[in-house]
Amino acid sequence: MAMADAACSSEQTGTGRRRFSPLLTIEQVASRTGLTKRTLRYYEELGLLRPTGRSDGNYRLYSEDDVERVERIKELRDLLGFSLAEIRAFLEADDEREQLREAFRQESDVEARLAQLERCDTLIQRQLQLIEQKITGLEQLRSSLQARLDRHAQRRAELLQQRSSLDK
Amino acid sequence: MAMADAACSSEQTGTGRRRFSPLLTIEQVASRTGLTKRTLRYYEELGLLRPTGRSDGNYRLYSEDDVERVERIKELRDLLGFSLAEIRAFLEADDEREQLREAFRQESDVEARLAQLERCDTLIQRQLQLIEQKITGLEQLRSSLQARLDRHAQRRAELLQQRSSLDK
DNA sequence: CTTAACCTTGACGTAAACGGTAAACCTGTG
DNA sequence: CACAGGTTTACCGTTTACGTCAAGGTTAAG
């Protein structure tokens, strides 16, 4: 069995406490996320995912953040039923927000910071709108099914009453 | 222009009031639902949709119920992101419920009717569970975005305060 | 009855989202 | 350092969900 504790290129702190979590091989990411290695490479090819680094031998190395991103992709794919292209757009908004965060921390001018917040909010609003649209559609579906159950409960009550009056 | 008022094979009632809505051609269903004719034929091929009848010349004829079913399919596809195979399974549950409804109306035994209601309910419950699972996932996503907006509102308030104290 | 416009059933083509395999390279263990 | 097993890129194959085209039958209007 090879590659037991792979790629500890990020070292420990002087005291022995881990400052950076060790980077992961593609196999480890695959087993943690339930995706196949092929799929991870494919997502990278589409620009959805960029592993934090590469080993000396050109092996992909993933950080915990990368794993989180993978989970995010899965969520968007399974919950929202988005195509990978749509997910890409969605994540690009995330990325721009990340950039804005960085810029925000370096910016000192109050007006500029307010403008950045504004921009960031519109990005979020757009995502929220998409999600809420899906939710209302689903809730509509749910309530129609629920109504059916309610009608059945009504019928059931009638039938039970019928039965008890016969039992007498 | 051909096929102006196609396929009135279902006739009127004696009084002139329409008892049955006229059946529709594939073109009409396509334009009403926004799907293409090809897609409608494909769905039929997969067993998702079976037009109510055929004309003498072997043209597909759709009823209003058929149109509703198409809308249902669209919902399941777009909202839930289901594959057509999953939609097929979902609709088969609908169909069994429909059969149960018929059986229910013909059944007079109270116990039997109760059992049918029970069976019907479990079918609905299964569908509900799927939907609710999606909804909670989406709501989680939504609240995380909302939290971000809230934090930004907080920051914005701080910045505005800063500005006003400088204005002074 | 002719004809434009619609329909039918194939059959082939395609984009998306991967699966699988080959050829060559990397890595930890004995 | 040998080697089993993990990884890389490259490329071809497959399934799903249709698009598109061809050959031939149907329908309504003139």
Of A113, A124, A159, the CB nearest to B113: A159
- Statement: residue A13 has pLDDT above 80: no
The answer to whether B117 faces chain A, any CB pair under 8 Å, is yes
A92-126: pLDDT as tens digits: 999 999 999 999 999 999 999 999 999 999 999 99
**How far apart (Å, rounded) are the C-alpha atoms in residues A156 and A161?**
9
Per the structure, the residues numbered 48 to 77 in protein chain A that have their CB within 7 angstroms of any atom of strand C are 55-59, 77
**How far apart (Å, rounded) are the C-alpha atoms in residues B111 and B96?**
19
Which CATH architecture group holds A20-81? Orthogonal Bundle (1.10)
Q: Report chain B's terminal Cα–Cα distance, integer Å.
A: 76
A121-156: pLDDT as tens digits: 999 999 999 899 899 989 999 999 999 999 999 999
Which CATH architecture group holds B17-81? Orthogonal Bundle (1.10)
* Per-residue model confidence (pLDDT) at position A6: 43
Instruction: Say yes or no for a CB contact (<8 Å) between A138 and B81.
Output: no
The residue extents of the domains of chain A are: 20-81, 107-168
Which residue in chain A has the smallest CA separation from B81?
Answer: A81
Instruction: Say yes or no for a CB contact (<8 Å) between B166 and A139.
Output: no
Of chain A, the percentage scoring pLDDT greater than 90 comes to 75
Instruction: Say yes or no for a CB contact (<8 Å) between B159 and A78.
Output: no
* Per-residue model confidence (pLDDT) at position A26: 98
Range A138-142, long-range pairs (CB < 8 A, 24+ positions): A138/B79, A138/B80, A138/B131, A138/B134, A138/B135, A138/B138, A139/B135, A141/B75, A141/B79, A141/B131, A142/B128, A142/B131, A142/B132, A142/B135
Q: Per-residue confidence at A167, pLDDT binned at 50, 70, 90?
A: confident
Nucleotide nearest to A86 (CA to C1'): C16
Q: Average of pLDDT values for B73-78?
A: 94
